[in-house]
Amino acid sequence: MSYEIRKDGKFNFIEVGEGEPLMLLHGLFGALSNFEPLIEYFKIRNKVIVPMLPLLEMDLLHTSVGGLQKFVQKFIEHRNYNNIHLLGNSLGGHVALVHILKNPEKVKSLILTGSSGLFENGMGDTYPKRGDKEYIRNKTALTFYNPSMATDELVDEVFEITNNRLKVIKIITLAKSAIRSNLGEELSQIQQPTCLIWGNNDIITPPFVGKEFNKLIPNSELHLVDKCGHAPMMEVPVEFNKILSGFLDKLKSPTTV
């Protein structure tokens, strides 16, 4: 499935469907393909928005979780979105958390899946290792419960990034920024309904991380999914969409008779 990438000012994004905005923030090695089943399912009921985060385009000074949050804030203001259901995977979840803490007024609900912000296992001290495609394939496969999810296309995308020295520096800079930005003491401030969808076999942000988010975010619910790793919306899209749909249904305004 291909989507038109729209351009508005300095922002590149996808926007399909009508209804309350459902904004999707991808992770460090995220791509549009991560969200295709989700977009297809929810574009019937929501305005689904995917901003292309400038993970590797920012100058080094602003290559951080905070820099990405400012980008998302400017995008939301520029497009004048309101009542946003903000969904983030991995680093995208971390950016969503920082955003809702700094700018809660336009966000209606928060959805986190495999989010950083409390604890995450790094990809190893030697990562990324340039020029060794099999090494990259094995590391990419760790994202999933089912290693066959690390398709040739996905491995090629990661390999291309890790073979560029400047991109590698920016990836490491972002990863270090995520580790430094621990939000544990601030999460109790989040008032919006929050849905946590976590893979029971996630080794990057293990299930105890989802449980800790559930404990620290007041109005949150946790859904643990078996036989699933760090990217539930990719690995178990049917179950993911069912959980998210049920969560959003509960937030609908009652119709007046």
Interval 229-255: pLDDT, tens? 999 999 999 999 999 999 999 998 664
- Does 257 have pLDDT greater than 80? no
- Does 94 have pLDDT greater than 50? yes
* pLDDT at residue 40, as a whole number: 96
Report residue 60's pLDDT band, with 50, 70 and 90 as the boundaries.
confident
SS3 content of the chain, % helix, strand, coil (to 5): 45, 15, 40
49: helix, coil or strand? strand
* pLDDT at residue 138, as a whole number: 84
Report residue 124's pLDDT band, with 50, 70 and 90 as the boundaries.
very low
- Does 214 have pLDDT greater than 70? yes
List domains and CATH numbers for the chain: 6-121+182-250 (3.40.50.1820)
* pLDDT at residue 135, as a whole number: 81
